[in-house]
């Protein structure tokens, strides 16, 4: 569902992403783990076509993001880091607007909005202005817009960032459930999220992949815990967290 080969991104003389290759299958939740500044968000933005690549290839459901970006993007639901919202819109109104941008109308739009609201547990606030919502509900609203067109692939950049412990637990459960039918790639710097939501994890540091495997395999490689492995393979003074 997601195939990345030799992905590289340079900003002037700085190499932010350095020859990354990985894939994500249907029914797989891949956690993209690394310290701040490791190249996670840059990778997410290239995979979704938001940033151009310096080198490499990205295929979404077999479609090249570089050669056929519009067709590839139709297969993706994207939740960017710190996703913006229109505070004066209601949750329902915002989702209707986003569904229209996706080319949905009439009964199809209504069904898509109702399904996204139900999936993200937004029924109690559907007619409430976004500006009055808690951070947890705002986050769920952002996630709901990524689900409107029932994409085969979800790319989520730091999906639990800034949430309280209960809200993080809810989002992790939702990601795990969605991952049964979709291919999901999500970035995080929180170690516990790998065991809580992922079927597989990739650890990146300074734009390179330094570990790849299931949570159990990575824990075994760390000889005790994922935390031990994370500190072993990341090189930022061995203090990344």
> Is residue 58 located within the same domain as residue 160?
yes
190 near 182, Cβ under 8 Å?
no
> Is residue 112 located within the same domain as residue 58?
no
**Is 0.75 topped by the overall pTM?**
yes
pLDDT digits (tens, 9 = 90+) for 68-98: 999 999 999 999 887 889 999 999 999 999 9
Report yes or no on 3 lying in a domain: yes
Report yes or no on 112 lying in a domain: yes
Report yes or no on 128 lying in a domain: yes
Average pLDDT of span 44-72? 96
pLDDT value of position 8: 97
> Is residue 159 located within the same domain as residue 52?
yes
**Structural domain span for residue 124:** 82-150
Lookup: tokens for 49:
């076509």
pLDDT digits (tens, 9 = 90+) for 198-223: 999 999 988 999 889 888 888 777 65
> Is residue 190 located within the same domain as residue 217?
yes
Total domain count for the chain? 2
Question: Judging by beta carbons within 10 Å of its beta carbon (0-12, 13-18, 19+), is residue 48 exposed, middle or buried?
Answer: buried
Report yes or no on 172 lying in a domain: no
Query: Does the pLDDT at position 226 exceed 80?
Result: no
Lookup: tokens for 22:
């990985």
> Is residue 70 located within the same domain as residue 104?
no
31 near 201, Cβ under 8 Å?
yes
200-205/153-157 β-pairing: unpaired
225 near 198, Cβ under 8 Å?
no
Lookup: tokens for 112:
């898509």
CATH number at residue 4: 3.40.50.300
CA 36 to chain CA centroid, Å, is 16
Report yes or no on 176 lying in a domain: no
> Is residue 55 located within the same domain as residue 89?
no
> Is residue 56 located within the same domain as residue 98?
no
> Is residue 7 located within the same domain as residue 113?
no
> Is residue 145 located within the same domain as residue 158?
no
> Is residue 121 located within the same domain as residue 55?
no
Select the more confidently predicted residue: 238 or 160: 160
> Is residue 145 located within the same domain as residue 204?
no
């Amino acid at each position: 569902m997601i195939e990345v080969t030799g992905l590289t991104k340079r900003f002037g003389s700085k190499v932010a992403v350095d020859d990354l290759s990985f894939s994500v299958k249907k029914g797989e939740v891949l956690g993209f783990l690394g310290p701040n500044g490791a190249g996670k968000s840059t990778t997410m933005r290239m995979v979704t076509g938001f940033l151009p690549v310096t080198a490499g290839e990205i295929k979404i459901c077999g479609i090249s993001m570089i050669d056929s970006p519009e067709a590839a993007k139709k297969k993706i639901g994207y939740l960017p880091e710190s996703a913006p919202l229109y505070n004066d819109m209601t949750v329902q109104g915002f989702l209707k607007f986003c569904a229209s941008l996706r080319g949905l109308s009439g009964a199809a739009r209504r069904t898509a909005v109702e399904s996204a609201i139900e999936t993200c547990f937004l029924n109690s606030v559907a007619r409430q202005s976004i500006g009055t919502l808690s951070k947890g509900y705002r986050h769920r609203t952002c996630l709901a817009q990524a689900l409107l067109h029932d994409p085969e692939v979800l790319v989520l950049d730091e999906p639990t960032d800034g949430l309280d412990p209960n809200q993080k637990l809810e989002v992790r459960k939702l990601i795990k459930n969605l991952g049964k039918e979709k291919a999901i790639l999500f970035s995080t710097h929180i170690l516990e999220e790998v065991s809580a939501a992922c079927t597989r994890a990739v650890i990146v540091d300074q734009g390179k992949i330094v570990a790849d495997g299931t949570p159990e395999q990575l824990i075994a490689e760390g000889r005790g815990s994922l935390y031990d492995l994370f500190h072993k393979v990341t090189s930022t003074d061995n203090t990344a967290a």
